Amino acid sequence: MSNYLLSTYSRINLSFTHGKGAWLFTNNKKKYLDFASGIAVSCLGHSNPILLKALKSQSEKLWHTSNLYNIKEQERLAQELCNKSFADKVFFCNSGAEATEGLIKLARKYHHIKGDFLKKNIIVLDNAFHGRTITGIQAGSNSLHKEGFLAKENCSCGFIRVPLGDIEYLKSKININTAAIFFEPIQGEGGINVCPKNYLNQIRKICNQNNILMILDEVQCGIGRTGKVFAYEWWNVKPDMVGLAKGLGGGFPIGAILLKNKIAKCITPGSHGSTFGGNQLACAVSLAVMKEISKKKLLKNVLNLGIFLEKKINKILSNNTSVITEVFGKGLMLGVKCSVPNSDLAKILRKKGLLVVPASNNVIRLLPPLNITKKEAQKAIDIINEAVNDLK
Ligand SMILES: Cc1ncc(COP(=O)(O)O)c(C=O)c1O
């Protein structure tokens, strides 16, 4: 622990010297099965040889020149993301929070350029998390994240909050001031809340009817995490914009906004930007990530092992619900609802060598690398089973 670091996290007293695949190692040779993946970041595991090769090769050529010049790696990554999605254009940044920031700016600017000067409000959901910038905390629902940080306490600041799933209530909140509906198809920090069947389709329809934008935050649920390259594919809809980060770099910081041409038109040189966004090093690594996560075999692994884990956890809790009561999610983005404090379960799992991430609503998140093996999934199940037995 350091006296020199700002206390933004209540850190676990544990540090790692190296990692290999789904495993993390400490200097006293203890190893941990990593079902946290740095909060859904290390999507291809630690020290992945393909990513190492891409990083090493690019690092010996060129790291950064700035967006004052053409960047071939960035152009290739943008093309790859567009080919794989609904998007016509891409903007690169460095994190999920920056993606949120850009998405909200673009939504407002889109209407502004069209002369719709009233359309500024963004509809967001309960339990939402969109990052820690001023805009991100306004869009998010956690009051602890906002307290003391806003220009005006309890300010809705142009964000209208609705409960997830209640389409009629959402409709009742739409008016001439509504610019966009912005949400996570599967809420991560909020507790692995999967939007119901047809929810995205209904929102698409509402957006079309009211000339408002449908914007998705796939910072946590995107890039293969659910068994599809993008989570929205599960609903078979096309959004207007999507924010990405986390898994997009497999551990190297990068964020992105995917968008349609109709929105891209509102931006002219100088109106938005980023110094680091999409530099050579980040894009070279991300290109390697995209190539890997687009492979059918990998996506199938995510689906199969997701189903495997869900089945096995259901079996554990079917015998006893005094520790865990439910498992839900999609692919390798799973939530386990706890009946003991989730931090207690996370602690005992950690003691037994399994790393997980707590989330809101007393849930623990299982977010392993997407390329884990069945043997590793079974190992996690054995540890969960033991921990549940110890706690009951
Ligand atoms: C859905 C979602 N959006 C945005 C963010 C913010 O991303 P970052 O921490 O990279 O700024 C996160 C981070 O957890 C997230 O889960």
Kindly list the structural domains of the chain, giving each domain's residue range(s) and its CATH number in brackets, ordered by start.
18-34+296-391 (3.90.1150.10), 50-293 (3.40.640.10)
Pocket test for ligand 1, best of 137, 187, 242, 246 (most atoms within 8 A of CB): 246
| Residue 246 annotated as catalytic | yes
pLDDT in tens, 100-113: 999 999 999 999 99
Distance between CA atoms of residues 382 and 374, nearest Å: 12
Ligand 1 mean position, distance from CA 133 (Å): 10
Ligand 1, pocket-test mutation among 137, 216, 219, most atoms within 8 A of CB:
219
Q: Cβ distance 361 to 191 under 8 Å?
A: yes
The per-residue pLDDT for 28 is 85
What pLDDT is stored for residue 269 in this prediction? 96
Give me the pLDDT at residue 2, please: 86
Residue position matching structure tokens 């070279």: 284
**pLDDT at 130 (0 to 100):** 98
pLDDT of amino acid 148: 95
Give the strand pairing for 193-194 and 241-244: unpaired
Cα–Cα distance, 74 to 72 (Å, whole number): 5
CA of 93 to the centre of ligand 1 (A): 13
Res 191: pLDDT: 98
| pLDDT at residue 324 in the model | 98
The radius of gyration of the chain's CA atoms, rounded to the nearest angstrom, is 21
Unique residue bearing structure tokens 């914009």: 241
Residue with tokens 């079996």: 315
Strands 178-183 and 213-217: parallel
CB contact set of 26 (below 8 Å; sequence gap of 6+): 14, 15, 16, 17, 32
Q: Token pair of 77, please?
A: 């990554």
**Candidates 91, 92, 129, 182; catalytic one:** 129
- Catalytic residue flag (residue 276): no
Instruction: Say whether 217 is catalytic.
Output: yes
CA distance 362 to 346: 11
**In this structure, which amino acid lies at residue 82?**
C
Q: Residue 96: exposed, middle, or buried by beta-carbon count in 10 A (0-12, 13-18, 19+)?
A: buried
Ligand 1 site: residues with CB under 6 angstroms? Answer: 39, 95-97, 100, 129-131, 184, 188-189, 217, 219-220, 245
Residue of minimum CA distance from atom 4 in ligand 1: 130
Quick check: 138 and 157 in contact, CB under 8 A?
A: yes
The low-confidence residues of the chain, meaning pLDDT below 70, are none
For residue 258, what are its two tokens? 């995917």
The pLDDT of residue 71 is: 98
- CB-side neighbour CA atoms (13 Å) of 79: 6
Q: Which of 217, 230, 240, 252 is catalytic?
A: 217
Straight-line distance from the first to the last Cα atom of the chain, in angstroms, rounded to the nearest whole number: 32
Q: Write down the pLDDT at residue 37.
A: 98
Q: Which atom of ligand 1 is nearest to the CA of 188?
A: 16
Condensed to tens digits (0 to 9), the pLDDT of residues 196-223 reads: 999 999 999 999 999 999 999 999 999 9
Q: 372 phi and psi, to 5 degrees? A: -65, 160
